[in-house]
Amino acid sequence: MYMWNMLMCRTIPVTRLLQCTLTVGFGANDRILAHRPQIYSWEGQMADGITLADLNEKHIKGCIRLGVEGGRIPASAISVPIEETLVKWKLLKNGVPTNGATMLFSDNIDEYPQFRLRMARFVGTDKNEFIDNQRVEGCFFDLLDAGMAFFFKHLNLGGKITNHSLQREEHLEVPYKALREALINSLCHRQWEKYNLTNSIAIYDDRVEIANPGIFPLQITPETIKESHESYPYNLKIAEALYKSTYLESWGSGAKRIMDACREQGIEEPIWRCDGGFVIVTFKRPFYGLSYQEKKPAKKNLWGNVAQNVAQNVAQNVAQNLDEKIIQIIKSNPCIKREDIANQLFVTKKTIERHLKNLGIKWDGHPKTGKWILQDNNI
């Protein structure tokens, strides 16, 4: 009887047949992974050259705190050693972090070229010319923060006075909640073993595209993803950790929440597709193709007492825009530092501190492990 043992040599699958080592085609490798994902999955393998000291303690404790506050982790988790939590989340094997733990929390990514996010703002509707082209590296939280900052930098922020409030409500042209959910899903469910491929964000005049290496689960198609379905995470342990820390839901409801956010803001639902080994979600920008007259407010809202009000209105709108962006960034990452907020919004640290004070947003806890506390009127 022949004895087979499938191994992963770096990123190349090989198998042992008695005393011989044979290379396995990636098609066969996919079938093996599908049959025994709990044993052979990339996320479950012990990380090469990574130790506990490489994991970002602030990110881990921030996840634990969010999980406790969200009722998904017992309060006792705050006081137990981090190693115990990682073991429970199946992110630690024999004291060594797994690839999944590395992707989520590691500051040391030297051996992981796939931990990147490409971002570009193109001119027009194709890739011939760009006005901003960035590439960032880091763990899950670094990439999430960078991606959301890129959206805020290049998408329009508009507002209106609602019927139920005398205050101006401001929104990104594509809903923040939808973009964040789509980016989280893109990072969580991508095929991380494909080290030569990269997640990406592409902003065009007419659309926004978020892409990740991967395929749809066999049970889901680009058409049925909009219907009610179960959850089929490609990276089960990563998804479970993000669920426990409230970054993700476990019921296959991500697409629904994305569509709900778009409907709530009155824009078209996104379109999902699979193209060349990438899963891509596309949001249409709502103002593309409109004339200048259609985009701008009615004339009666712009004129009247201009000399007296224009300076005051401009300053007030700029401040409101900055307040809104600060709140959204903190919602995305409650543990973010003042300096990082300032860098994302291209303002000084003193400006951020002044706005935080005016908003009543305070830091709770130790300088390294605490988090920002939003007031009721900020949520």
Reduced to 3 states (helix: H, G, I; strand: E, B; else coil), residue 189 is: coil
pTM reported for the whole predicted model: 0.70
Q: Are 161 and 174 in contact (CB under 8 A)?
A: no
What DSSP line would sit under 24-65, residue for residue? --HHHHHHHHHHSHHHH-GGGSBPTT--GGGB-HHHHHHHHH
Q: Which of 86-90, 239-243, 348-352 has the lowest mean pLDDT?
A: 348-352
Residue 152 has pLDDT above 60, yes or no: yes
Q: How far is CA 26 from the centre of its chain?
A: 28
146 shares its domain with 72: no
75 shares its domain with 148: no
194 shares its domain with 235: yes
The Cα–Cα gap between 106 and 368 comes to 16
> Is residue 21 in a domain?
no
pLDDT for position 316: 56
The CATH number given to whatever domain includes residue 270 is: 3.30.565.60
CA angle 240, 245, 249 (to 5 degrees): 55
The Cα–Cα gap between 178 and 264 comes to 11
Q: What is the DSSP letter of 106?
A: B
> Is residue 1 in a domain?
no
The Cα–Cα gap between 275 and 256 comes to 22
Number of domains in the chain: 3
Q: Are 260 and 249 in contact (CB under 8 A)?
A: no
Reduced to 3 states (helix: H, G, I; strand: E, B; else coil), residue 105 is: helix
> Is residue 94 in a domain?
yes
Where does the pLDDT of residue 22 fall: very low under 50, low under 70, confident under 90, or very high at 90 and above? low
Sign of CA dihedral 74, 76, 79, 85: negative
101 shares its domain with 240: no
Residue 6 has pLDDT above 50, yes or no: no
For the record, the structure tokens of 114 come out as 């796939």
Residue 302 has pLDDT above 50, yes or no: no
pLDDT for position 317: 54
Domain of residue 364: give its range.
321-373
Q: What is the pLDDT of residues 190-219, one digit of tens each?
A: 999 999 999 999 999 999 999 999 999 889
223 shares its domain with 78: no
CA-based nearest residue to 246, from 68, 60, 84, 61: 68
256 shares its domain with 123: yes
Beta strands in 138-270, from DSSP E residues, in sequence order: 157-161, 168-172, 199-203, 207-213
Alpha helices in 173-305 (DSSP H): 176-188, 236-244, 254-265, 292-295
Reduced to 3 states (helix: H, G, I; strand: E, B; else coil), residue 223 is: coil
> Is residue 270 in a domain?
yes
Residue 17 has pLDDT above 70, yes or no: no
The residues pairing with 371 across neighbouring beta strands, listed in sequence order, are 364
Strand order in the sheet with 207-213: 130-137, 116-122, 199-203, 207-213, 278-284, 271-275
Residue 129 has pLDDT above 70, yes or no: yes
> Is residue 291 in a domain?
no
